[in-house]
Structure 1
Amino acid sequence: MRRIWALWITLLVVTAAATAGCAGSGGDGIGGPGDDPDRLRKQARDALARYDEAVRTAGGQQRFVPVGDLTGQVGDWEAGREENKASLLAGQVVAGGALPAPPQATGTVTWDGGATLDVPLVGAEASLAAIPRGDCGGCPPLTVTGARLTTAKISTTRGPATVPAWEYTLRDTAVRVTRPAVAASAAVTVTPPSWDPFNAPGGLPIDSASVNAAGTTLTVVFVGSQGPASVPCGADYTGEVVESANAVVVIIVTHPHAADEACTAIGFPRTLSVELAAPLGERALLDIQQGLPIAVTRS
């Protein structure tokens, strides 16, 4: 399931970044060419403020910060069940009866590096209700017939982690759905601002990131021009970092080859390293556009 969303998001990012970064530009620009520097700095400050509030809501701790889609899929849809894909993507999953409570009050989150965190658990019904729901044009809902407590691998701001999870069986299919069984009170959850297509946020989105062992050098991966600014339609990139005690935002500054070039709207993976004023530690890296946490691979 997460792979499906990742592919879809990547396609959107490539299209948006390519359109902004490879079409004609108006000279150097913070974020994508033409982005207003003051507007992006305000976006960054607003994102940090929302994240600070989310950390306060979580009791001031931010050790467990899930990233991305938390609904997993085990197995492939059978022939004739292809419509179930749209139902799951839209979160149209409903309980067909009573679902179990957790067999114990707490469980353990284990990161790939070996770090652990004990967290409170919630029942299968509460985890199911936490799945985000959207409109899928009348697709049939998936009916849950049972659930068992197991584990699942998810992304977090501190890298991949294995978490307690409910695995749901579904009517008329062998596919199973997973969802973390961790109580919402144990996780930092950020609510992004409403998306306004007529006043969309600016900035180049970051696809992934890593930090060095010292925690002071952050390397981000994003979509940009293929070549450097020394060649036609190329661009160089530098970064501006906005930091708080709980998170950081990286604003990518574009330095194109020339203004108003007619270039092919195709994006390519680029990387950029920035120095932080203080080690990243348990702080989160936030996306410039929506202020959502980004997974960071830590050395």
Structure 2
Amino acid sequence: MRSVKLLVTLGLVVAAAVGCGDQRAPADNRVRDADTAERARRVAAAWEGSEAARVWSRGYYPLGDAVQLPAGAFHDDADKRAYATQNFTLHALLPDTAKKRAKVRWRDGDSLTLPLASAREAYDKVARGGNSGPALTVTAARLGEMTVPTSRGTATVPAWLFTVKGYDTPLKRVAVTPSELPRSPIGAVPERTDALMPLVGLETVARDGRTLTVRAEHGGCDDGPAVDVLETEGSVVFSASIRGTADGPCTSESRVEKLTVKLRHPVGDRIVLDAFTGRPVPPRQQSARPAR
């Protein structure tokens, strides 16, 4: 995967190692490569007024983390390691609930009823460790709520609240599954190049709605990934690429880094799209069912 044409990017410089958080926002959001720009425009145009956009506007698609940590987390390195390795000890009976479905509610009054995960299902998504290292202890669980950013703005969603020993507030885990993703009105690009690659996913959307962190892939013999942005009235289209590639032998090593992008306007209810796939950028914690 070596292109002779060097993509002039937005100046996103990422000095971090794999998964590190040393991220810098681009100077502006102009898409500068002609082919990449044309692809981004085609993706935006395909979604504008489409059936997929209609389905998206009515679904529950979270843009934030499915877990909210207790206040003050974490007290020490042992607790940090326990959470990072998903190592938990359960010292409580997880409650059953007769409810099989629950509502997601938006601030404008809209709501959507979705299947409700059990306390056991939610706990198992958080506690996948089981190693001999430090562990966090769960002493109780109850059904409650939490707020998350979504494609339709902030929503109040059902959540399981787990009491963690040593912390005054619970660890919260979303208790509903995202809606089924709509089928994209435009197909993916047939082949990866250094000038256009698929994004790995959407990491976070900041409170200001303008600062988005995405994850992008690159190799071991380049200067890292970059992301260009096309903003339209109905969508935000990201175009991922690789900077500073050169011809010659190279290892097949694959790395993933985080890039922080500053939009001109808050994302709001616009669709966040990947120019390569032609589909919505998948949120980090989203485990949605496959497209129809």
Q: Please state if 1:187 is matched with 2:179.
A: yes
Structure 1 residues 155, 240: CA separation in 2 closer, same or farther (over 3 Å shift)?
closer
Q: Please state if 1:85 is matched with 2:55.
A: no
Contact persistence 2:90–2:139 (CA under 8 A): yes
Q: Which residue of 2 aligns with 1:292?
A: 282
* TM-score where L is the length of structure 1: 0.49
Structure 1 residues 82, 63: CA separation in 2 closer, same or farther (over 3 Å shift)?
same
Q: Please state if 1:154 is matched with 2:144.
A: no
Q: Which residue of 2 aligns with 1:176?
A: 170
Q: Please state if 1:106 is matched with 2:101.
A: yes
Kindly provide the amino acid, as one letter, of the partner of residue 125 in structure 2.
A
Q: What is the CA deviation profile of residues 139-185 of structure 1, one whole-angstrom value per residue up to 9, with x for unaligned ones?
A: 52323222101111111111111111110012454452111111x3x
Q: What is the CA deviation profile of residues 107-150 of structure 1, one whole-angstrom value per residue up to 9, with x for unaligned ones?
A: 2211122211222212111012233968xx98523232221011
1:63 pairs with one of 59, 62, 66 = 59
Q: Distance in 1 between matches of 2:231 and 2:261?
A: 19
Q: Please state if 1:250 is matched with 2:240.
A: no
Kindly provide the amino acid, as one letter, of the partner of residue 73 in structure 1.
L
Q: Which residue of 2 aligns with 1:215?
A: none
Structure 1 residues 76, 286: CA separation in 2 closer, same or farther (over 3 Å shift)?
same
1:272 pairs with one of 264, 267, 273 = 264
Q: Distance in 2 between matches of 1:12 and 1:76?
A: 23
Kindly provide the amino acid, as one letter, of the partner of residue 180 in structure 1.
V
**Please, what is the CA RMSD of the aligned residues?**
5.4
Q: Distance in 2 between matches of 1:88 and 1:122?
A: 21
Q: Distance in 1 between matches of 2:231 and 2:282?
A: 18
How far did 1:269 drift?
7.8
Q: Distance in 1 between matches of 2:105 and 2:141?
A: 22
Contact persistence 1:157–1:293 (CA under 8 A): no
- How do residues 200-279 of structure 1 correspond to structure 2 at under 5 angstroms? 201=197, 239=230, 248-251=235-238, 271-272=263-264
Aligned length: 210
Structure 1 residues 10, 200: CA separation in 2 closer, same or farther (over 3 Å shift)?
farther
1:73 pairs with one of 69, 73, 92 = 69
Q: Please state if 1:166 is matched with 2:156.
A: no
Q: Distance in 2 between matches of 1:238 and 1:61?
A: 21
How far did 1:84 drift?
1.3
Structure 1 residues 146, 107: CA separation in 2 closer, same or farther (over 3 Å shift)?
same
Q: Distance in 1 between matches of 2:124 and 2:79?
A: 18
Contact persistence 1:238–1:272 (CA under 8 A): no
How far did 1:285 drift?
2.0
Kindly provide the amino acid, as one letter, of the partner of residue 30 in structure 1.
V
How far did 1:64 drift?
0.7
Q: Distance in 1 between matches of 2:78 and 2:38?
A: 40
* TM-score where L is the length of structure 2: 0.50
Q: Which residue of 2 aligns with 1:234?
A: none
Q: Which runs of 5+ in 1 are unaligned?
A: 1-8, 23-27, 191-197, 211-218, 224-236, 254-266, 275-279, 295-299
How far did 1:239 drift?
3.0
Contact persistence 2:106–2:155 (CA under 8 A): yes
Q: Distance in 1 between matches of 2:212 and 2:63?
A: 17
Where is the helix percentage greater, Structure 1 or Structure 2?
1
Contact persistence 1:40–1:251 (CA under 8 A): no
Q: Distance in 2 between matches of 1:132 and 1:187?
A: 24
Contact persistence 1:149–1:166 (CA under 8 A): yes
Q: Please state if 1:117 is matched with 2:108.
A: no
